Amino acid sequence: MKRVILFIVFCFIVASTASAQTYEAVTADNEVNTVETVQVKIVTTVETEEFITLKYINSQIAAVRTKIQELEDELIELRALEYQVRLKAEKVKLVEVE
């Protein structure tokens, strides 16, 4: 799981470096009570602005983790099904290859 998070962070860093984005805290001092709610302005070279918070990023990470868990659960079910099917399939006599 740590590898997935590190990979996501790495991709984000690479993507932000490639698009020449700059970051600037918008929230003033003593305006909010948690670091998760501080707004940071992201400005790219094409002058588009996007506001993002750690809370938003953490919610996106949680959503990705949920999807990963769902896929892992599906994979477990498929492997169990594969095992049961393989047990039956291996009992079938096959045509001999000449």
Is residue 65 classed as helix, strand or coil in its secondary structure? helix
Does 97 fall in a domain?
A: no
pLDDT at 35: 85
Query: Does residue 96 form part of some domain?
Result: no
Give the mean pLDDT of the chain.
84
Residue 66 belongs to domain spanning: 2-89
pLDDT per position as a tens digit, 32-54: 888 888 898 888 776 567 889 99
Number of domains in the chain: 1
Asked if the structure places residue 94 within a domain, the reply is no
- For residue 39, the number of C-alpha atoms closer than 13 Å in the C-beta half-sphere is 9
Q: Is residue 43 part of a domain?
A: yes
Query: Which pLDDT value is given to residue 13?
Result: 60
Widest distance between CA atoms in the chain: 82
Answer yes or no: is 95 within a domain. Answer: no
Model confidence pLDDT, tens digit, residues 4-36: 666 666 666 655 555 678 888 888 999 988 888
On whether the CB atoms of residues 38 and 54 are closer than 8 A, the answer is yes
